[in-house]
Amino acid sequence: MLETTEAPMTVTHLPQTLEPRNPGMPLEMERVMRVRANRSAIERRAASLPGRRSLKKDFQAAWLARAISCIDLTTLAGDDTPGRVARLCAKAKQPVREDLLAALGLEGLTTGAVCVYHDMIAPAVQALEGSGIPVAAVSTGFPAGLSPFPLRVAEIGESVKAGAREIDIVISRRLVLTGDWEGLYDEMRQFREACGEAHVKAILATGELGTLQNVARASMVCMMAGADFIKTSTGKEGVNATLPVSLVMMRAIREYYEETGYRVGYKPAGGISKAKDALTYLALVKEELGDRWLRPDLFRFGASSLLGDIERQLEHHVTGAYSASWRHAIA
């Protein structure tokens, strides 16, 4: 649980690579098939979280600022333009108004990354030049992942050449639904190799995997194949990030770390739009994975509207009054 006795966290733009990358390991089918998920226990644990937060005043403001530093500020719309992306990047570099940052005593606060489609990588890279904020690109036939496999691999390569430092790939859900764990491992391994030095986030599309056991096994297989992050959703599914799914994925990450010594990142995406929800997810990360994961090289929110609500909460902390949402425009 997040306690008010903790000192607020220092928030600055942190280096993106603080850990050795997960190199993966040979697929161990016996290990994969041992994975189980007790749904009732998982749901009880997840249901207990929202009522257990005890963050107030300066402590809450500090944790909300940390949440901002872990946001992948995202635009994935069919009508994206270079101008819209440039405005989004400006918000990533200055996510909170200067007067609020001064009142809070914060400096150097940025979002964790900016996430766009392939065609918007170049304008994003240009807009973020010199900021240290990486560009993440969705790839591999996002969001369905049903384009021909050679094209999906080629898309990764093109995005890396265009300047993306992080690649969010989507797995083939059918491989999970049919229990083809060897196929999933091989697919993920090839995606990882195509990324080169760029970090790869494996999107599991958990809302389409059927069971929490499938989520747990898919998480383990993707980490065995070398995923740097595992991510819940594309944001386009009917059900996106949830606390039970997050608990399952975080425990898979913890187990993988205990067995291999490599830390894999976690990214919940889709449906997280309120500051109070961000605090709940941070509490879960702290309790299940520890403080080291509360940094942008190991934890991200896939969100945009979340930033606006956090900024409103920070203004309330400073002034005692809530402002209209239009005062905290994203782009």
DSSP 8-state secondary structure symbol assigned to residue 299 = B
Instruction: Classify residue 13 by its DSSP letter.
Output: P
Sole residue written with tokens 């879960």: 284
C-alpha to C-alpha distances, 290 to 2, 44, 101, nearest whole angstrom: 11, 21, 27
H or E element: which one contains 121?
Answer: helix 121-128
> Which of the residues 267, 277, 297, 309 is marked catalytic?
267
Cα–Cα distance for residue pair 103/105, rounded to 1 Å: 6
What one-character DSSP code corresponds to residue 118? G
* Continuous H helices in 163-301: 173-177, 181-195, 212-224, 243-260, 275-288
Q: Which of 93, 201, 231, 309 is catalytic?
A: 231
* Distance (Å, whole) CA 261 – CA 265: 13
Has 168 been annotated as catalytic? yes
Tokens 């195509």 sit on residue: 194
The 10 Å CB-count burial string (b at 16+, else e) for 38-60 is eeeebeebbeebeeebebeeebb
Based on the residue annotation, tell me whether 267 is a catalytic residue of this protein. yes
The one catalytic residue in 72, 93, 168, 201 is: 168
Annotated catalytic residues are 168, 231, 267
